[in-house]
Amino acid sequence: MLKRSLTQEGMDKEQKMSYVLNEPLNELFDYKEPDYELPVKARLFNSIACEQCREFASEHKIRLHDGKKICLDCFNEYSRGW
């Protein structure tokens, strides 16, 4: 987080740029522990080759159709309209 707002100091564009590029980082930013929970790490899924187009798709994006593993682009979803 920036320690002070550059828009409130009355600096023109050149002065702001010079200030940000030349000032030590500890003068520009406050370093502290976050006060919120970090998100959980993203799950990694295996890649599976589509048996129709041969492109790889993430495991959770594969559908079974007539015993074949089909990607969402090749899969024709069946719906009765409700």
How do the domains of the chain map onto residue ranges? 1-36, 39-82
Token pair in block for residue 71: 């990607």
Q: How many CB atoms lie within 10 A of CB 4?
A: 9
Full pLDDT tens readout for the chain, 82 residues: 556 665 556 788 888 888 889 989 888 888 888 899 989 999 999 999 999 999 999 999 999 999 999 999 999 888 887 7
Predicted local distance difference test score (pLDDT) of residue 1: 57
Residue found by looking up tokens 């023109």 in the block: 12
pTM of model > 0.85: no
